[in-house]
């Protein structure tokens, strides 16, 4: 049965050694002198050997001299751990993995991350991007702490916090008849050369579901899609956030009827709390997007 060494009495011993006396040590420790006397005596009896020479004042025994550096080492390790955990809790350190759909990753995250690293310089962030299914799977598998995506189907194991709405619109080239319009009704698209993409499932279960039958192409890759739009090969529907603003010739016209919106929000495992770093990010994102 090996004795349990409590940290505090070890600290007392070091204080006595460093300060050269029980009184001075007590002052340093914000304790009274008898408190140290008794705590150290208790420690000695637990070890079965005196640490301080009795009679002589605050002189270490040979065994005490043997112990002191070891006590110091253990206390150092304790303090290091305590400091490390505190840093985690206070978000001065830590890391988090997150996944986001491409539109969020490329349009929202750059600015968000820039602010985040200023606010939490110690927290390292890994951001993975992929489509909504990918994000969902990553969160579900615990591969990432957080997802930033729109949720297509609920799941008891997932917790979703909506943060912003993102309305669907038509994207076409600037010389297209629809280009100057304020808004578009879905039936106006029936005659167009329609290009389907990954976000087209937003039309599912809406009045405009019939559009999905009329795709001339289906392109999942965003680069390819924009290239085709720029080439004037057709029009497509995209949520506003996914609309590539950097292409001068493309225009975004909101869909007025039906008004289709996706809800972008934070996805996480339900019933599972977040690491301090992940919570910092979740709170930060939620606050930034209101």
Partner DNA sequence: CTTCTTGATCAATTTTTCTTATCGCTTACG
Partner DNA sequence: CGTAAGCGATAAGAAAAATTGATCAAGAAG
Residues at the site binding DNA, with contacts judged by CB under 7 A: 6, 8-9, 16, 21-24, 30-35, 37-39, 41-42, 52, 54-55, 57-58
273 in Cβ contact with 203 (< 8 Å): no
Q: Which residues contact 284 (CB under 8 A, 6 or more apart)?
A: 112, 115, 116, 119, 120
Closest CA to 253 of 164, 208, 189: 189
| For a second copy, the closer CB: 83 or 119 | 83
In the list a second copy, DNA, none, the entry touching 193 (Cβ below 5 to 8 angstroms by class) is none
- Sole window of 68-76, 166-174, 207-215, 220-228 interacting with a second copy (rule: CB under 8 A): 68-76
Select from a second copy, DNA, none the partner in contact with residue 2, using the beta carbon and a kind-dependent cut-off of 5 to 8 Å: a second copy
Which one of the spans 57-65, 124-132, 230-238, 280-288 is the region binding a second copy (CB under 8 A)?
57-65
Pattern 144-183, binding to a second copy, x per CB under 8 A? -x--------------------------------------
Among 30, 56, 205, 248, binds a second copy (CB under 8 A): 56
Q: Pick what 37 binds: a second copy, DNA, none; C-beta below 5 to 8 Å, kind-dependent.
A: DNA
């Amino acid at each position: 049965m090996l004795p349990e060494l409590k940290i505090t009495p070890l600290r007392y011993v070091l204080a006595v050694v460093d300060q050269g006396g029980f009184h001075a040590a007590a002052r340093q420790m914000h304790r009274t002198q008898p408190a140290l006397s008794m705590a150290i005596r208790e420690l000695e009896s637990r070890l079965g050997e005196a640490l301080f020479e009795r009679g002589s004042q605050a002189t270490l025994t040979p065994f005490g001299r043997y112990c002191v550096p070891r006590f110091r080492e253990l206390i150092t390790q304790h303090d290091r751990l305590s400091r490390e955990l505190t840093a985690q809790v206070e978000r001065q350190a830590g890391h988090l993995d997150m996944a986001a759909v491409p539109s969020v990753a490329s349009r929202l995250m750059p600015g968000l991350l820039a602010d985040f690293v200023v606010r939490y310089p110690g927290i390292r962030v890994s951001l993975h991007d992929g489509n909504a299914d990918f994000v969902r799977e990553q969160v579900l598998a615990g591969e990432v702490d957080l997802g930033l995506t729109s949720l297509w189907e609920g799941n008891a194991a997932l917790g979703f916090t909506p943060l912003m709405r993102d309305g669907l619109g038509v994207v076409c080239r600037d010389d297209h008849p629809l280009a100057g319009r304020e808004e578009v009704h879905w039936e106006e698209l029936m005659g167009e050369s329609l290009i389907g993409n990954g976000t087209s499932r937003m039309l599912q279960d809406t009045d405009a579901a019939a559009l999905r039958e009329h795709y001339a192409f289906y392109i999942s890759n965003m680069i390819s899609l924009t290239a085709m739009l720029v080439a004037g090969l057709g029009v497509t529907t995209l949520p506003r956030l996914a609309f590539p603003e950097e292409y001068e010739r493309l225009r975004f016209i909101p869909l007025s009827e039906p008004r289709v919106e996706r809800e972008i929000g934070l996805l996480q495992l339900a019933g599972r709390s977040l690491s301090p770093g992940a919570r910092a990010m979740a709170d930060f994102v939620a606050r930034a997007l209101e």
